[in-house]
Amino acid sequence: MRKKIVAGNWKMNKTYSEAIALVGDIVGSSYDESVQLIVIPPAFYVSEIAKISSSTNVGVGVQNLSEHDSGAFTGELSSKMIQSVGAQYALVGHSERREYFNEKNSDLALKVNQLLADDLTPIYCCGEVLEEREKGNHFNLVKSQIEEGLFHLDKDQMLKTVIAYEPVWAIGTGVTASSDQAQEMHHFIRGLVANKYGVDTADSISILYGGSCKPTNAKELFANADVDGGLIGGASLNAADFIAIANSF
């Protein structure tokens, strides 16, 4: 059975005291223990948040990392640093990183390598902008994101990776992909993994949906056979909403 995961990407939100209060509310809530909860705060707070969550079922991740090992890269964070403060996960290639920071699939492949070398779990993000969907090019685009960012991995590495499908037109817009649109793309992605690595590997990998996922629509999205949870932005900034989503399986 593959893991059910609900991850909260806090993006550039919350002061330090607000972040500590939010994680305190999350770890103090009751939620389905079979779901892996992950909080992804600003990197600045990860060390403290990892201490607070260490004896709980809540994992901690970062929103980005360098593709380099160490050295003269001012402002960057390495996977070794991230691991050394107790995080276990990192987002790679969120659409905001792709769009505003010009991250390419080839850069993302290197970031994935850094994480896996340090025994951290990449949550590799993919998804199309509206224009690509309207042109009917969304499957091709997601295919190239997956192939160029992940398909250099061997099978064992692939098994340690989580994929998040986030249609860019649904992120922060209040417009969610329909349940059918989500399932269709998740099924497509799992098929790509099956073709390359075999059905057993594809069946073991968690594929999360992201984009305006809320307590009101999570149940319908998570009911799909190939949707294994969510990557939550806005609704993860409120503990009650985040927990309600986690309890939606």
Kindly list the residues in this chain that would bind ligand PGA in the complex (CB under 6 A): 9, 166, 171-172, 210-213, 231-235
232 vs 244 by CB, closer to ligand PGA: 232
Contact 19, 10 (CB under 8 A): yes
Q: Minimal CB distance to ligand PGA: which residue?
A: 233
Shortest Å, Cβ 64 to ligand PGA: 13
- Which residues neighbour 154 within 8 Å (Cβ) at sequence distance 6 or greater? none
Smallest distance, ligand PGA to C-beta of residue 156, A: 27
* Residues known to be catalytic: 94, 166
Whole-angstrom distance, CA of residue 248 vs CA of residue 35:
10
Taken in order 198, 201, 206, 210, the sign of the CA dihedral is negative
For the bound state, the minimum distance from the C-beta of residue 69 to ligand PGA, rounded and expressed in Å, comes to 27
Residue 212 near residue 175 (C-beta atoms within 8 A)? yes
Q: Which two tokens stand for residue 220?
A: 């319908």
CA distances from 230 to 4, 7, 169, 208, 219 (A): 9, 6, 16, 5, 11
For ligand PGA, the closer of residues 169 and 197 by Cβ is 169
Buried b (16+ CB within 10 A) or exposed e, 214-231: bbebbeebbebebbbbbb
Q: For residues 245 and 227, what is the distance between their CA atoms, to the nearest angstrom?
A: 13
CB 82 within 8 A of CB 43: yes
Query: Counting every residue, how long is the chain?
Result: 249
Amino acid type, 57: N
DSSP string, 191-239: HHHHHHH-HHHHHHS-EEEESS--TTTHHHHHTSTT--EEEESGGGGSH
